Amino acid sequence: MKLLEHEAKEIFRAFGMPMPPGGVARTPEEAKKRAEEVGKPVVVKAQVLAGKRGKAGGVKFADTPDEAASHAKEILAMRINDLPVEAVLIEEKLDIQQEIYAGVTVDRNERKYVMIGSGAGGMSIEELAEESPEKIIKRHVDPSLGFQPWEAREMAIAMGFKGKAINRLGSFFMRLWNIVSKYDVELSEINPLILTKDGRFLAADARLNIDDNALFRHKDIIERIQRAPTEQNERELKATAEGMAYVELDGDIACICNGAGLTMATLDVVNLYGGKASTFLDLGGGSDKERVEKGIEIALMYDKVKAILVNIMGGITRCDDVANGIISARDDKGIDVPMVIRMVGTNEKEGQEILTKAGIPFMKTMEEAASKVVELVKEAA
């Protein structure tokens, strides 16, 4: 379960973690009131379970309460990553000397938690790892001992801090670890953790993901947040309702398959031939005509899709049913992007005959299909 920033900060505050003064608002009038309570220039931040809020226009600065209300009105009308913004967080605008990254997650290879810190915060840890890996400091946590204060101070020193800042930053890492260990956290981040010009460390952001399997131990959190613990957009909700596995990616080729392994392999082969997938859509076993049609319909709802690759391994799923579903989708939905089909297995020949009569070409191998769909996308560019 992923918590919104203001929900995570409630927990952070209970553990004594310093953060900017402010509060949550769900209307422009509340935003104005929160800004008046702060009494200084503020930042207005969209509360939504989506990354890159700033780039989407979901983070704005305001010098006056009226300006904060105006920004809140604009942000509350937005959708970020197709998710509605139902609240904003109003906090004091900080006088920043340095942005820092602090986080903890599970290293499944080591089967341990790993504490992560960097003196170069404000950007995603993935980008930082790629561009400047030497700036990332990691410490694996001994599961029998937990994270120790001396390890926290070691991390602060390795991140380039000196003097009193070592203990102050070390205490941040210890508080973060205490939260993680109490609430069965899978991932927590403070990015950025701010060092102000007057020497204070403040959590300017907060991310907290709790292991779903441990929620029975933390019913107080579910009761406190009073909302459905979901970050799914309309397309994801529809796929979930249909029992399909659906993941959106950054490419432009929708991959529709049956079976998670086949879908992953299809994504890899598309990438091998120079393309990028927009959609991981696993129809599941026993996919009939209606399910195939529904899967194509959901995939086409994503505006990044420029082509569709259907790759089916027929077992319980019959290829003739799949073919009929593809034809129905084409005729009913008015599909205006190219489709490439590859089907093998049960009733393979019957399915191929149906596609041939309908004028829909098919490929014999996954490699041919991936190469063809990438070629069609490039031709249309």
Instruction: Give the separation between CA 278 and CA 248, rounded to whole angstroms.
Output: 6
Catalytic entry in 67, 91, 101, 248? 101
Instruction: Give the separation between CA 19 and CA 209, rounded to whole angstroms.
Output: 19
Q: Are strands 96-107 and 2-3 parallel, antiparallel or unpaired?
A: unpaired
Record the pTM: 0.68
Question: Which strands form 339-345's sheet, in the order they lie side by side?
Answer: 245-248, 277-282, 253-257, 307-314, 339-345, 362-363
Topology of domain 21-92, CATH = Dna Ligase; domain 1 (3.30.1490)
Instruction: Give the separation between CA 304 and CA 42, rounded to whole angstroms.
Output: 35
Instruction: Give the separation between CA 219 and CA 234, rounded to whole angstroms.
Output: 27
Per-residue model confidence as pLDDT tens digits over 153-177: 999 999 999 999 999 999 999 999 9
183 among known catalytic residues: no
pLDDT the model gives residue 215: 82
Residue with tokens 């939504």: 48
101 among known catalytic residues: yes
Instruction: Give the separation between CA 239 and CA 124, rounded to whole angstroms.
Output: 29
- The class level of CATH for 96-225 reads alpha beta
Residues of the chain with CATH 3.30.1490.20: 21-92
Residues of the chain with CATH 3.30.470.20: 96-225
pLDDT the model gives residue 150: 97
Which regions in the chain score pLDDT beneath 70? Answer: 226-232
pLDDT the model gives residue 227: 57
pLDDT the model gives residue 226: 58
Supply 279's token pair.
């959609």
pLDDT the model gives residue 230: 55
Instruction: Give the separation between CA 12 and CA 193, rounded to whole angstroms.
Output: 13
pLDDT the model gives residue 155: 97
Catalytic entry in 189, 236, 248, 293? 189
CA distances from 74 to 36, 46, 52, 64, 355 (A): 19, 10, 17, 16, 49
Residues of the chain with CATH 3.40.50.261: 234-380
pLDDT the model gives residue 293: 93
CATH code, 234-380:
3.40.50.261
